[in-house]
Amino acid sequence: MTHQNLLVELFVEELPPKALKKLGEVFASQLCVQLRSLGLASSDSVVTPFASPRRLAAHITHVAAKAADKTVQQKLMPVSVGLDANGLATPALLKKLQALGADVSDPVFAVAALRKAPDGKADALFFESLVNGATLDLGLQQALEATLAKLPIPKMMSYQLETDCELPGWSSVHFVRPAHGLVALHGSSVVPVKLLGLTAGNTTQGHRFEALTSPVLLNNADEYAETLARDGAVMASFDDRRFAIVQQLAQAAERLGPGYQVLMDEALLDEVTALVERPNVLVCTFESEFLEVPQECLILTMKANQKYFPMLDVAGKLTNKFLVVSNIQPEDPSFVIGGNERVVRPRLSDAKFFFDQDRKKTLASRVEGLDKVVYHNKLGTQGERTQRVRAIASAMASQLGDAKLMAHADQAAQLAKTDLLTDMVGEFPELQGIMGGYYALNDGLSQDVAHAIEDHYKPRFAGDDLPRNTTGVVVALADKLETLVGMFGIGNLPTGDKDPFALRRHALGVIRMLVEKDLPLDLNALISAALPAFGDKVTDASPALLDFVFDRLAGGLREQGYSALEVDAVLALRPQRLGDVPKRLAAVRSFAALPEAPALAAANKRISNILKKANTTVDPHVSELELKEAAESALYATMNQLLPKANAQFAAGDYAASLQTLAALREPVDAFFEGVMVNAPEESVRLNRLGLLKTLHLAMNQVADLSRLAA
């Protein structure tokens, strides 16, 4: 059996740059998966993806010209159905065998060739046949069609191809972009497959302007990348091109001097890699007067509109130099540089114009305009939303600070959304909040308020910074709580992977601020305080919202490395002050490492079950007169000695010390369960023992539900 390396390339018109990387990876991986399923590629086969603006390709090692034949065993029917009382084939069995292509001219011989084997409660008949392995010609055709069906194509195109049959006409083809070439090489041999109206060959196209030959002849599957680079002036590998761009960007910055650094955005690097076949980094310049515009505006317009890489100085401030990744390498690059400088100038001029125009109106003068902007058809306008955020922020500020904090929080909440009405944010929605901060400073507002306006969307994503000051934290919390309470109150909940109002992100933001800032605010109280701001627009969905927040918290804690048992033990109590959760988790982890922990956790679980099964409400009260057994008296005495200390440590927030103190209860608890019958016949004694256990249970489960740690 001949094994050689396989190359498949699909040459198309320019592919969507933001989708190219994924398309290339899936094309190569799926093709290999399909060939393996047919037995043409093995588990040892190595797949190498290639993706450039005009091609998807895959190189797969150790591909067979023909898959090995294999024996296939097929269940036919139960023996009782296939054979009669004399052991002869029934008509049903003969019909089934005939449908499978078996020779039934001699029924006795046909039955003898079958295998009987147990299948559940009864024996069944099995038919074995030898299936010829797939040839590469047919197998690759099948694999390519299956691969194209699985490509993550963002939007399909339809185009027409002239039919190559005797009758003239046109056929419709559906693919991400019109395809113009197909290469399929097994070693140096062409595999005659067809796809998208194309027949495979051994030639492709190189760079539009810089290829040495056209078409580019590919002699062997293993020479694909080298031949395309040499004769076609194309770097076929997406990863190699990306690496070359990163290197060239760094070298360009180094040539400019030690005071320059490139703002390398990962998403932008991927997109630019998908736009060029032969990267060539050039240094360009724009007029220094544009640096008067906030650098976020200039950076965004250069990256989003032009795909340029801005240059920063050592302090992280934008300079008037930027880097362009060109797709050509002319002897004189001045025309390319000049062209890019001319193109970027109108963009920067627009940004400067927007900035200058926006500053002619104060943020305060725009507040009224929010009443004309619809937020949600059930929740009203942005103006109404602003009033709700102000009310929620005011309630929090009164708990966290003085009159100054309340005034600053109210002002920031009132102005936070006004930059939505500015020209700059209208052009670049990504700058909302950021521009509000700049315009607040321009209006003469305090830096505290300006930073709060800028930061009230934070954290915008996982790992993002939190607001810089308390005013910002208050407004950011109020903004996110307003969204959560409002959306849950109208039943607009996330479903599956759909979360159009980013409620999961808002919940994680609330959690991070409450935990990382260790704020003395109760979650339930925050949600309850937010409800009145909505009037009759929403219903109270607090239980569902609390579940939602705690689910997000549990998931986040597990991602941080806490075990499911630790998280479950702490969150089972639904601690309302989320800033305490890390301290509780640390205490539980320390407690779980103690030798007394397993026995106490098991005892706690036992106590929980006893109290649940009690037919009456158990009062945590103990009468010494009703303590009949030495073991219960000893436990009560130890509790009187230890519980006040443990409670004091808990009240002081020293959760680890509190659990450490309670660990000394192991021996008297064990002795209690060995020597005392809780459900005594006498009601007074039984209730007293239940009260003892209730008192113990309450004391042991203040930090966490320790029964959750029991195996």
What is the tens place of the pLDDT at every residue in 182-239? 999 999 999 999 999 999 999 999 999 999 999 999 999 999 999 999 999 999 999 9
Distance, CA of 228 to CA of 438 (rounded, Å): 50
- Residue 438: is its pLDDT beyond 70? yes
Lowest average pLDDT, out of 408-412, 475-479, 676-680, 699-703, goes to 676-680
Q: What are phi and psi of 398, to 5 degrees?
A: -65, -25
Percentage of the chain beyond pLDDT 90 is 78
- For 144-162, give the DSSP string: HHHHHHTS--SS-EEEEEE
Residue recorded with tokens 């002036």: 233
What is the fold of 371-561? Hypothetical protein af1432 (1.10.3210)
Lowest average pLDDT, out of 265-269, 293-297, 324-328, 686-690, goes to 686-690
The confidence score (pLDDT) of residue 663 equals: 93
The confidence score (pLDDT) of residue 168 equals: 62
The confidence score (pLDDT) of residue 116 equals: 86
Strands 380-381 and 374-376, bridge-based pairing: antiparallel
Q: Cβ distance 325 to 280 under 8 Å?
A: yes
Distance, CA of 381 to CA of 613 (rounded, Å): 53
- Residue 167: is its pLDDT beyond 60? no
Q: What's the whole-number mean pLDDT along residues 492-520? A: 93
pTM score of the predicted model: 0.81
The confidence score (pLDDT) of residue 169 equals: 63
- Name which residue leads in pLDDT, 93 or 582: 582
| Helix (H), strand (E), coil (C) string for 544-598 | HHHHHHHHHHHHHHHHCCCCHHHHHHHHCCCCCCHHHHHHHHHHHHHHHCCCCHH
DSSP state of 84: -
The confidence score (pLDDT) of residue 164 equals: 61
Domain residues of the chain, as ranges? Answer: 3-67+135-232, 70-131, 238-358, 371-561, 582-709
Specify whether domain 582-709 bears CATH 1.10.730: yes
Q: What's the whole-number mean pLDDT along residues 310-323? A: 95
